Chains A and B, each alone.
Chain A
Amino acid sequence: MYAQLVKTDEKRLKSLGEMDPQERAFQGRIDRGEKIEPKEWMPEGYRKTLIRQISQHAHSEIVGQLPEGNWITRAPTLERKAILLAKVQDEAGHGLYLYCAAETLGISRDEMFEQLHSGRAKYSSIFNYPTLSWADIGAIGWLVDGAAIMNQVPLQRCSFGPYSRAMIRICKEESFHQRQGFDIMMKLCKGTEAQQKMAQDALERWWWPSLMMFGPADGDSVHSAQSMAWKIKQDTNDELRQKFVDQTVPQADFLDLKVPDPDLKWNQERGSYDFGEPDWDEFFQVISGNGPCNEERLGARVKAWDDGAWVREGLMAHARKHARRTTLAAAE
Chain B
Amino acid sequence: MADKALFEFLTRIGDTTLVLGHRVSEWCGHAPALEEDIALANTALDLIGHTRMWLSRAGEVEGKGRTEDDLAFLREAHEFRNYLLVERPNEDFAVTITRQFLFDAWHRLMLISLQESSDQRVSEIAEKASKEVAYHVERSTDLVVRLGDGTEESHRRMQHAVDILWPYTGELFTDDETDRELSDRGIIPLPSSLEGEWKTHVDGVLSAATLVRPEREYAHKGGKAGVHTEHLGFLLAEMQVTHRAHPGATW
Contact = CB atoms under 8 A, between A and B. Distances in A.
A315 B150 contact: yes
Given A89-B38, A308-B32, A318 B243 contact: no
A85 B250 contact: no
Contacts of B238: 73-74
B interface, size bucket: 35 or more
Given A78-B68, A192-B249, A304-B29, A314 B147 contact: yes
Interface string A296-314: 0000110111011111111
Interface string B91-133: 0110000000000000000000000000000000000000000
Interface string B28-44: 11111111111001101
A184 B147 CA distance: 41
A310 B33 CA distance: 11
A313 B153 contact: yes
B153 A96 contact: no
Interface in B16-65: 18, 22, 25-26, 28-38, 41-42, 44-45, 48-49, 51-52, 55
A76 B251 contact: yes
A66 interface: yes
A72 B25 contact: yes
A202 interface: no
B69 interface: yes
A86 interface: yes
B238 to A, nearest CB: 5
B29 A78 contact: no
A69 B149 CA distance: 32
Given A76-B251, A317-B151, A321-B149, A88 B93 contact: no
A78 B18 CA distance: 9
A80 B73 CA distance: 13
Contacts of A79: 52
A258 B41 CA distance: 35
B3 to A, nearest CB: 23
Given A85-B25, A85-B45, A313-B153, A93 B32 contact: no
Contacts of A62: 29, 34, 37
A320 to B, nearest CB: 10
A92 interface: yes
Contacts of A95: 34
26 contacts: A62-B29, A62-B34, A66-B29, A74-B238, A76-B243, A76-B246, A77-B73, A77-B243, A78-B52, A79-B52, A81-B25, A85-B44, A92-B38, A93-B38, A96-B38, A184-B251, A192-B248, A308-B32, A310-B151, A310-B153, A311-B36, A312-B33, A314-B147, A314-B150, A314-B155, A318-B145
Interface of B: 18, 22, 25-26, 28-38, 41-42, 44-45, 48-49, 51-52, 55, 68-69, 72-73, 92-93, 145-147, 149-151, 153-155, 157, 238-239, 241-243, 246, 248-251
Interface of A: 62, 65-66, 69, 72-82, 85-86, 88-89, 92-93, 95-96, 99, 109, 134, 184, 187-188, 191-192, 194-195, 300-301, 303-305, 307-319, 321
